[in-house]
Amino acid sequence: MLNKQCPDKIDWTDWTWNPISGCLHGCDYCYMNRMEKRFPGINKPAFHFDRIDKFLRSKKVKPGEKIFVGSSGDMWGEWVLDEWISAVLDVVELTPEFTYQFLTKNPDGYADWEFFQNCWIGTTVDGTSRTENNLSTLVRSVPKQFIRFVSFEPLIKNPSINESVFQELDWIIIGADSTRGAKKTPNTWAEFIIDMAREFSIPIWVKDNYQYYDVIKEFPKTKAVNP
């Protein structure tokens, strides 16, 4: 499905699109896992060929707009079939006028793929030990000619960050745990990341759900094709 985003949803993109859905990572804070309890099977990994076809025929997305691919699952999970990913990357190649944003908790999954210049490639770091290597894996798996980013959302622990790897990034997103009943994420955690990003001139996007005292919404600069 192709969904238009607005400020109270995922405000760092224009559209979400889920030709591959489902996820087996099993995060406690997962919205899709909660949905699974109400609608059994909804979070089961699946490829939706009809959504590829519909997307290519749709005239909804305008040149220059951003599409976050995989908001309801992890299309780079180890369980995802190569032919599913291949079908999505074919669309990305066919439509250089759009920007595609990918995000995963399994950045190893990027290693064997060739990307295109209209891709922004990211990983999630939530501060737990489970995601502590994601940043370095992303930088190792994706060549620096692409925009590489980290989404610190939901930030559920103060992350420990390796500065020398962090400075290789092109964009930072910071967001809170918006699960019902979750405690307010301390501003000091965001400050720590923001200070480091400022030191290396990395653009930052802080989501409203963090309730940070400052509004920071910056996008990365497009990278040259042959840096």
Strands 15-17, 66-69: pairing kind: parallel
Residue type, 173: I
- Mind spelling out the 3-state secondary structure of 122-189? EEECCCCHHHCCHHHHHHHHCCCCCEEEEEECCCCCCCCCCHHHHCCCCEEEECCCCCCCCCCCCHHH
Q: Which is nearer to ligand SF4, 27 or 193 (CB)?
A: 27
Q: Which is nearer to ligand SF4, 33 or 187 (CB)?
A: 33
How many helical (H) and strand (E) elements, i.e. helices and strands, does the chain have?
6, 10
Q: Which is nearer to ligand SF4, 25 or 51 (CB)?
A: 25
Query: Least separation, in Å, of the C-beta of 122 and ligand SF4?
Result: 12
Residue type, 125: V
Q: Which is nearer to ligand SF4, 70 or 203 (CB)?
A: 70
Query: Least separation, in Å, of the C-beta of 152 and ligand SF4?
Result: 13
Closest CA to 171 of 217, 224, 109: 217
Cα dist from 64 to 158, 169, 172, whole Å: 35, 22, 20
Query: Least separation, in Å, of the C-beta of 26 and ligand SF4?
Result: 6
Q: Binding to ligand SF4 (CB under 6 A): which residues in 3-62?
A: 23, 25-27, 30, 32-33
Binding-site size for ligand SF4 (CB under 6 A) equals 10
Considering only 17, 47, 55, 73, the residue that binds ligand SF4 (CB under 6 A) is: 73
Contact of 19 with 48, CB cutoff 8 Å: yes
Binding of ligand SF4 at residue 105 (CB under 6 A)? Answer: yes
Query: Least separation, in Å, of the C-beta of 105 and ligand SF4?
Result: 4
In whole angstroms, give the CA distance from residue 215 to residue 24: 34
Q: Which is nearer to ligand SF4, 75 or 206 (CB)?
A: 75
Query: Least separation, in Å, of the C-beta of 206 and ligand SF4?
Result: 19
Positions in the binding site for ligand SF4 (CB under 6 A):
23, 25-27, 30, 32-33, 73-74, 105
